[in-house]
Amino acid sequence: MVIPPEFVTVSEGHRLAVRRGGHGGVPLLLVHGFPCTSLIWSHNIEELAAAGFDVAAPDLRGYGDSDFAPDGFYDFAAFNADLTGLMDAFGWERAVVAGHDLGAMIAIDLATRHPGRVDRLVVLDDSMPDLPEAFAAAGIPPGTPKPAVYDYQRRQGLHADELVAELDTPERRRRYIGEFFGHRMWCPPGAFSEADLEVLTEPYGDADRLRASFADYEVVMGARPMSAPEMTDRPVQQPTLVLVGPDQVTLGEHVEERCAIAYPRVVGPFWVRGAGHFMPWEKPTVVNRAIRSFCGDLLARHADSRGAL
């Protein structure tokens, strides 16, 4: 079921579109990545709300139905200024934060930049802090480049305007985004039906939305300024659950060894058979049960506190 978004002001004149469920439960923030929007969490929100969470799945600035960046910034600090503003609007002091793809890196930055706001972290791919010296000291070799897999990064990061100009109709823009769910092999063949793609690619039919989604790649490629330095250069101190889908060409190497260093309090990584990059949609039951189990003590404590009222 697709839950319609509500609009929440996170700073003066700036709103995020948010899909909600389970008001009053344990705060849980679900952060999407590229080429997704909050729609990627459509199979998670209601079940997690029924488990006792107060679930919020926002569209990041510029994505989906959220406002574009009022200051032109699309970096981790800017995204997280919005997310902490969202938490403030909900009256959340702390939250469990689950992230996927770009959303996982934003969540990692949030856990370090605002450690008092993140209770626990859930990472739904092999994203992790950038710790080359610590990895090398542990004997972990650097990853092998995959230029054929990551050709899109160069185009989106260095030639964004030209690429958007080529994708000059809603159909072409949606077909381009649909490729990430198809022949680019980010997930098992047939993981997404035509009906699925109709839902998930619809927000990218708009040229301005597509262009905004390329901005983070410009940051990665050094072609766009940042509002503040990234804070993904140190291990995450919060308890962290890591779930990885093995059926994706984007998967890195030595995931277990890297996780042990990047997340000193890691649970996992657990490999979810039959899943690729888009685990919230591909394997929602596994994701929902894993988050519920990982946070079982928080859910029990919250239920006890409400029962005592």
Pairing between strand 6-11 and 14-21?
A: antiparallel
What number is the average pLDDT over the span 198-213?
A: 98
Residue 34: what are its φ and ψ, rounded to 5°? -100, 140
- The whole-number pLDDT of residue 293 equals 98
pTM over 0.95: yes
- The whole-number pLDDT of residue 179 equals 96
pLDDT in tens, 99-148: 999 999 999 999 999 999 999 999 999 999 999 999 999 999 998 888 88
pLDDT in tens, 267-304: 999 999 999 999 999 999 999 999 999 999 999 999 88
Q: Which amino acid is at 174?
A: R
Q: Per-residue pLDDT for 308 more than 70?
A: no
- The whole-number pLDDT of residue 1 equals 75
9-46: b (≥16 Cβ within 10 Å) or e: ebbeebbbbbbbbbeebbbbbbbbbbbbbbbbbbbbbb
pLDDT in tens, 30-70: 999 999 999 999 999 999 999 999 999 999 999 999 999 99
Spell out the residues 6+ positions from residue 222 whose beta carbon is closer than 8 angstroms to its own.
none
pLDDT in tens, 226-261: 999 999 999 999 999 999 999 999 999 999 999 999
Residue 152: which pLDDT band, with cuts at 50, 70 and 90?
Answer: very high
What is the rounded CA–CA span in Å between residue 176 and residue 180? 8
- The whole-number pLDDT of residue 47 equals 98
Q: Which two tokens stand for residue 274?
A: 């039959």
What number is the average pLDDT over the span 201-213?
A: 98
257-276: b (≥16 Cβ within 10 Å) or e: ebbebbbeebbbbeebeebb
Spell out the residues 6+ positions from residue 5 whose beta carbon is closer than 8 angstroms to its own.
17, 18, 19, 38, 59, 64, 65
Residue 307: which pLDDT band, with cuts at 50, 70 and 90?
Answer: low
Q: Which amino acid is at 232?
A: T
Cβ atoms of 295 and 120 within 8 Å: the answer is: yes
Q: Per-residue pLDDT for 306 more than 80?
A: no
Mean pLDDT, the chain, rounded, equals 96
Q: Tell me which residue of 128, 124, 129 sits closest to 241, measured CA to CA.
A: 124
- Measure the CA angle with vertex 149, ends 144 and 154; round to 5°: 100
Q: Tell me which residue of 289, 240, 274 sits closest to 43, measured CA to CA.
A: 289
- Measure the CA angle with vertex 31, ends 108 and 55; round to 5°: 120
Residue 309: which pLDDT band, with cuts at 50, 70 and 90?
Answer: low
- The whole-number pLDDT of residue 163 equals 98
